[in-house]
Amino acid sequence: MKYIIETYFAVSDTWENTYMETEYGRPKPIIFDNKSDAEHELNLMLEQSGYDYEHGYIDHPMHANDYRIKGV
């Protein structure tokens, strides 16, 4: 099974895959080969968000409960 990281949008009450890369000018979802790779990548992103918040680069830190890892 492959995995993606999704973000929750409260306005539309939906989970959407926003963890993307650009390939040939088009957005393409990043797909992880296993759940542990997806978890590791999400943890790195959340750690970086905490650092960015502490140093004033962003107004609000990201929260783990705003993301989920879903099997595809």
Task: Supply the DSSP symbol for 32.
Answer: B
Q: State pTM to two decimals.
A: 0.81
pLDDT in tens, 27-68: 898 999 999 999 999 999 999 999 999 999 999 888 999 999
18 Cβ neighbours under 8 A, 6+ residues apart: 5, 6, 7
Q: Three-class SS of residue 64?
A: helix
Has residue 10 got a pLDDT over 90? no
Number of helical (H) and strand (E) elements in the chain, helices listed first: 1, 5
For residue 61, the model assigns a pLDDT of 86
What's the CA gap between 25 and 50, in Å, rounded?
A: 30
CA distance 21 to 43: 18
